[in-house]
Structure formats: structure tokens, C-alpha cells
């Protein structure tokens, strides 16, 4: 069974601004060393899907460079590759007009490889998934298309694209954030939320893409799939049935988060931060790959509790609680950081206090700064989310202070 992956990584991520001011959503850093796109790519490689094309579009340079550094070795073996594909404009001067148009503009890549199945997955989510189990479901049930679906409580379902499926998992309809979502047949307290991950029989996909293009349609969720449910076997794959090896009993077994806005992004970090996290990033049986950083180990003095500090960072007599510091962060004396995410190459000068703050890369926090304590003052200078998280946009490269100069 030959499977080709087409990963959609062109998301603009406007609700994650200012973290997406200079990068696409899949390129946004996550945790101590990852980018959001690393999760879908790791799922594919761990699932032994070796041929992966990643469609990029908005502000893609950061993601292109990251994939080259982190995933370049994937091209070392015949038939194994992770290749970034910007808009080729083969059909005209337009960029990708939607999810299905991104795949249609690269239909020649599918035809070149002649796979049995095409996995069309998004690159915007934090999760683990053994795609082979979805493939087994797809084949066992003679599906033409399978759509990954996550059970969500009915009270929260109006925030999702919802799938209405019968008792045999055949999809009857798609509803976008419905006020009264239909419950799952097997669990009347939950509804199926669409994860935006699809498996297609190749012939079905190619025909649907061409038909959509002829009709001026550009989206899987709004155009192609609603039409296919009338003529083909389109099934909902229950993500709760997916079991990845190495997941601990204390973890949320079917963990999946759409980190589409600042508050969801911030909250997801606290799902991975504790002695027994909801989603443990360290799983030797399902490794999450990222760039191979070659800097030094961190140097730490101070009071550190429930926090992670990445390689190359230096903490000198600070107090850090419930926070994440990415690589090459410098924290000077008498600094207090609480409930905050500090990204790479940031300098926090002595005497500063930060609480519920996200600091993007290349920032210098001046001496005795106070961020996260005065909402009006924070809004005057920075972005503040609906949940009260203060976000500092990406700064300029700090010559002579970071990037191994510590």
C-alpha cells in the first residue's frame, strides 16, 4: 500500500498575531524546541509514510528554512523525502486559493508517484496520531474517503466544524460551528469535530480535484467533501480509537489541540508542562523530531520550579515558575518569570518581572521592567489576548549578545 502525504502548511494564522507577523502559523515555535509543523511531520514519519510534500504560502521563509534544517536528512533514502512546495502557478498567476486548490495546483506530483492513497493533512495542530490505524480503518471499510474526527463535548461543539455520521460511520453532512450540533450515535454527550485530516483513494481525489477546479471551487471542507458524501463512501474515523505506543496512563489519550489563537496556544503549553502532563513531549516510542541544535547545555542558578529551560540558555540568580524558556535565552539577576513563554535569543535584564507573558524571539527586556501586572499599560505597548496574555512581537536580531555569544 503506497501512501503519499500532501501536508497543507500555508496557513496565515491571523488569530495568532503578532506571533504570525513574520511567519506562517505552522512555523510558530512550540514548546522548548519545536515548531507546530513538526507534529504532523513526525506523525507521518512515525507512521512509515515516507513521501511527504508540504504546501507553503504565507510568509513561508521561516518554515522553509526550518524544514531544510530539521527534515533534510529525510531525503537521504530512495523514496523517502520531505519536500516544501511553494505555489507553482502551473494553472495561472494565482497563489493557492484554498485547501483543495493547493493540492490541485500540485496534481502532477500525485500523478508522478501513483500512490494508492493520498493523505491530505493540515499542519496547524498539536497531537500524536498513528496514521496507519486510520489507513487500516479506511481499507477495512472499503472507504473512498476517510475524515479524521475527534469526539468533543456537545457544550463545546459549536466552536468546531462538526461531522454528522450514521451508526456505520458514514458521513451525512458537515456543519460549520452549528448552534445545535448533532450528537454521535455511540455517545449522545459528544459530537464529532473535524480534524481537517483526510485519506483519499487516489482516483477519487484526482477526479474530485478536477471537477472542483472546473466549477471554480477551492476547498475540501466546503466544496469537495459535501459533494462526495452524495456519491461515495465517505466515513468518519474516530480519533479516540487511535492508540499511539508509549503514551502514559496519566496523559489525555486522544490529545489534539487547534492552537489557532493566542489563548489556545498558551494553554496548550501548560498541557505539556508538569511532572504528569496531559501531553508528554518525551515519548521514545513516538519521537517528535525538530532541528538538531548544536549549542551548549543551559547554565542555571536560581530558583526554578515546574519549568523547562532549553539548551544554550543562561539563568543567573533568577526565580522562574511555571514557564518555558527556549534556546539561548539570557536571564539576569533578580528577575522573576511566572506563567510565561520566552522564545529563543531573548535577553531579560536584571530586576524585571514577567507574568502571563509570551515573548517572541530577539527581544531585550530592559532593567526593572514590569509586564503582565498593569493591563492598561500592557495594552498601550503590546498585544493582549482576550484571556489577558501579553504578547511581545518578534524583535530584531541582537548582535553580539545571543546566538552562541553567552
**Which residues belong to the annotated binding site for alpha-D-glucose 1-phosphate?**
161, 176-177, 194
Say if residues 390 and 357 touch (Cβ distance below 8 Å). yes
CA atoms within 13 A on the CB side of 247: 16
Alpha-carbon distance 205 to 146, whole Å? Answer: 12
- Closest alpha carbon to 87 in 58, 108, 57, 59: 57
Phi and psi torsions of 141, nearest 5°: -100, 10
Alpha-carbon distance 186 to 173, whole Å? Answer: 17
Task: Work out the end-to-end distance of the chain between its first and last CA atoms, rounded to an integer number of angstroms.
Answer: 50
Quick check: helix, strand or coil at residue 153?
strand
In angstroms, what is the C-alpha Rg of the chain?
A: 22
- Closest alpha carbon to 200 in 211, 210, 208, 190: 208
**Cell digits of residue 370:** 514590569
Q: How many CB atoms lie within 10 A of CB 346?
A: 25
Per-residue CA distances from 169 to 133, 136, 147, 235 (Å): 16, 15, 10, 5
Alpha-carbon distance 148 to 398, whole Å? Answer: 43
Amino acid at each position: 500500500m503506497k501512501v503519499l502525504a500532501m501536508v497543507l502548511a500555508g496557513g496565515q494564522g491571523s488569530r495568532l498575531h503578532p506571533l504570525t507577523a513574520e511567519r506562517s502559523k505552522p512555523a510558530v515555535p512550540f514548546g522548548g524546541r519545536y515548531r507546530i509543523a513538526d507534529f504532523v511531520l513526525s506523525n507521518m514519519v512515525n507512521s512509515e509514510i515516507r513521501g511527504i510534500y508540504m504546501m507553503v504560502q504565507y510568509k513561508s521563509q521561516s518554515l522553509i528554512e526550518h524544514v531544510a534544517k530539521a527534515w533534510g536528512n529525510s531525503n537521504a533514502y530512495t523514496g523517502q523525502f520531505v519536500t516544501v512546495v511553494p505555489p507553482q502557478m502551473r494553472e495561472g498567476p494565482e497563489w493557492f486559493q484554498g485547501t483543495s486548490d493547493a493540492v490541485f495546483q500540485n496534481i502532477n506530483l500525485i500523478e508522478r508517484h501513483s500512490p494508492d492513497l493520498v493523505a491530505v493533512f493540515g499542519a496547524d495542530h498539536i497531537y500524536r496520531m498513528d496514521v496507519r490505524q486510520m489507513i487500516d480503518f479506511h481499507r477495512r471499510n472499503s472507504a473512498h474517503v476517510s475524515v479524521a474526527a475527534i469526539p468533543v463535548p456537545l457544550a463545546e461543539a459549536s466552536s468546531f466544524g462538526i461531522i454528522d455520521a450514521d451508526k456505520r460511520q458514514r458521513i451525512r453532512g458537515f456543519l460549520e460551528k452549528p448552534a445545535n450540533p448533532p450528537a454521535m450515535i455511540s455517545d449522545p454527550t459528544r459530537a464529532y469535530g473535524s480534524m481537517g485530516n483526510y485519506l483519499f483513494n487516489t482516483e477519487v481525489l484526482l477526479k474530485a480535484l478536477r471537477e472542483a477546479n472546473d466549477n471554480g471551487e477551492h476547498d475540501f471542507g466546503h466544496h469537495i467533501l459535501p459533494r462526495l458524501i452524495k456519491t461515495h463512501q465517505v466515513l468518519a474515523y474516530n480519533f479516540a480509537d487511535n492508540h499511539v505506543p508509549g503514551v502514559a496512563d496519566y496523559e489525555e489519550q486522544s490529545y489534539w489541540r487547534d492552537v489557532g489563537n493566542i489563548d489556545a496556544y498558551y494553554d496548550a503549553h501548560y498541557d505539556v508542562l508538569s511532572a504528569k502532563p496531559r501531553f508528554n513531549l518525551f515519548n521514545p516510542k513516538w519521537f517528535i523530531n525538530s532541528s538538531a541544535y548544536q549549542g551548549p547545555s543551559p547554565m542555571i542558578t536560581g530558583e526554578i520550579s515546574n519549568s523547562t529551560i532549553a539548551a544554550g540558555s543562561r539563568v543567573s540568580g533568577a526565580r522562574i515558575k511555571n514557564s518555558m524558556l527556549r534556546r539561548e535565552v539570557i536571564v539576569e539577576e533578580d528577575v522573576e518569570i511566572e506563567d510565561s513563554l520566552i522564545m529563543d535569543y531573548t535577553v531579560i535584564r536584571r530586576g524585571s518581572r514577567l507574568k502571563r507573558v509570551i515573548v517572541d524571539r530577539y527581544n531585550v527586556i530592559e532593567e526593572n521592567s514590569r509586564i503582565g501586572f498593569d493591563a492598561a499599560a500592557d495594552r498601550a505597548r503590546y498585544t493582549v489576548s482576550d484571556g489577558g496574555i501579553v504578547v511581545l512581537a518578534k524583535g530584531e536580531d541582537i548582535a553580539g549578545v545571543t546566538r552562541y555569544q553567552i
